[in-house]
A and B are shown apart, each in its own frame.
Chain A
């Protein structure tokens, strides 16, 4: 086995992990502060991807495209929060699941109506193309390396914001006691809208960044959403730290599982069998990881209670 290849796969796992963190952070914040489970988070990811693809096609600028993904997803988030989501804070989880599931249907079909069913392609810019040579002679995609950098920078900024800024203090207060924060005179509905928009913007950005690797199409959000669910179940719902740890664990397990399992099975099985069995098992690996975490920590690694 080539160590260079292993290092490359590890970096791939990290880049998937930080992108999952961008998704999971919004989900877990919205749950922690507002007690809401939002299935339509994947739709905001999709909105980000489409906004970026459209702006990139019109202007040719990747940075403008990224900015568009943030803004479009945040605006979509604000609209959805003010029209639908805020009616759901006091409802039970079943109502939240159904209403946000309905939102997925609306978002997906509306997007299909506007953009059609064919995937759009978002090209990465030249200045992020090609590879860089890392220490030990590892050649690695400049773009994916940038993803890791962006993801970690945003994670850092988010931790700093929650620890040190006024909105961060309010978020933490809101997690502990909604009535208390209302009593402090904070306009709670504005705080909720803001938190929701923040989560939406992060999801939108992830949609654009991932969209440049895969493609931008209707339905791109839900597989990522479900992975993000696995992330926050592992990390503990409501915990940003848990989201980061969970995201990296899931990213690494998924990528390295797909890489190592067929090789490991190759020691005992014939080559084609090892490849197919390995791929099947690898596709299950993160769920097995989740099941193991649940066996020992039913509320996740950093979950309270």
Chain B
């Protein structure tokens, strides 16, 4: 089996008396989509924040590309190749779609400290940015102000910015939310092909998407991983059905 790119061991985080993450162990291997599911309040966002570096765990470690990054900042992890999309879109809202994509491409190239260039005429950056927009289906919206995009389109832009970073892994927090049926179908298709570029840790509520995309699924309930395994095993797992799927599938 391939070495995991992202390796999370024994991650624990308390907020006062509340245990938001309890001894979580999880990994992400090359070429796979690993979905993380769980009911609201299970601690998915807290976990993502610890992986991305926005929260420091009380104990446990995060290894990324073989290196212990538990104490590194969000920015440092991003530079190492963690491409994150946010649950609640986090974009520069006054910028155009293209500017947001160029921002990603620029920071990936690392030439941030040029003070007198004309960044929006930089052919290299524009090519990367436009390619990413093309891939997520936002090319025609390149000149639109981000604040004017629909929620679904903002998710697509999040993915596009992550693509410009040419990351080693993707952390995607509910990229489907707000997309219509057609948009979801296209994004599923796209993400499915993306796993060959870099593996994806996918937090998702849309069970159809999870079951059609994921290679493995982990189920998080009350801050604890209660099951990890291939899709078929998870579907069949009685504990999971009782704790989670039963509720979700109820009308």
The answer to whether any beta carbons of A and B sit under 8 Å apart in the complex is no
